[in-house]
Amino acid sequence: MASVAHVEEWVDDCATIAEIEAALVDLRYRHSHGDQPDLRASVLTHLAWVPPEWQEAAADTLAGLGERHPSRTLLLFPQADKEDSLAAHVHLECYELAGIERHLCSEVVELRRRGTRAEAPASIAAPLLLPDLPVFLRWRGRPDFVSTVFGQLVDMVDRLVVDSAEWPDVPSAFAELVGQFDRVAVSDIAWRRTLPWRRALARAWPELPDRLTGPPAETALVAGWLEDRAGVQVEVDRADTLPVGGDRKPSDLLS
């Protein structure tokens, strides 16, 4: 993986969408001039809905994505307990490229929507989407699937990415997630996390267990997979770790 070359900040506490757009234009201008201008090769707009308790984890995951998926990332930090306002922090994250002096850069916009502005995220995010590129939404924590906020964001994206391991009420919550399948493409990181486990079970076919032990979300998903694909019903027990795999970093799984 390439190392971080530099992070250049432009402005803190933009108050309007126009100021945010002006900051992005300025960044692009300053990094498109010179003998070795940096590269911008965005492949998508990455939205992330990040309640306060998930901010540190979201920052770690974003840092781990690095140069693998250059994008414009909009981090949406709701702060409903504050007075109505919008604050934004705009910067570039640039990575060294092997064999050349130029860097690969991604734009990052941290949006703190305060007070009632937290209830209308689409009106803030929509003008900042990159045109003609897919939009992915990573929702941290348990979504309120019937909320206005969730509906606004899901209706403007191509794919919703969740991690049901972050939910306290699985497996019952899966019924609400299934209700979104006709609305938007959905990826569950917990399902991806079970891939080594599912491979091990497939290799053991037809000798399959009658009991699975693992974290609630992943175990429920694998149990459902066995019932659907092999017609085998299994009991489930809870454990803190997966029996197979489980050592992938969050950024690897999201990638």
Give yes or no for residue 148 having a pLDDT over 90. Answer: yes
pLDDT by residue (tens digit) across 227-254? 999 999 999 999 999 999 877 777 677 7
Note the pLDDT of residue 69. 62
Choice between 43 and 139, residue whose per-residue pLDDT is larger: 139
pLDDT by residue (tens digit) across 55-109? 888 777 766 565 566 678 899 998 877 777 788 888 877 776 665 555 667 788 8
- Name the residue among 20, 40, 23, 22 with its Cα closest to residue 31: 40
CB-neighbour burial class of residue 22 (10 A; exposed 0-12, middle 13-18, buried 19+): middle
Contact 46, 72 (CB under 8 A): yes
Peptide bond into 196 cis (omega under 30): no
Kindly report the pTM of this predicted structure: 0.85
Report the relative pairing of strands 103-114 and 39-40 from DSSP bridges.
parallel
Give the pLDDT band (50/70/90) at residue 179: very high
Residue located via tokens 């919008």: 86
Note the pLDDT of residue 85. 79
Indicate the average pLDDT of the chain: 83
Choice between 33 and 104, residue whose per-residue pLDDT is larger: 104
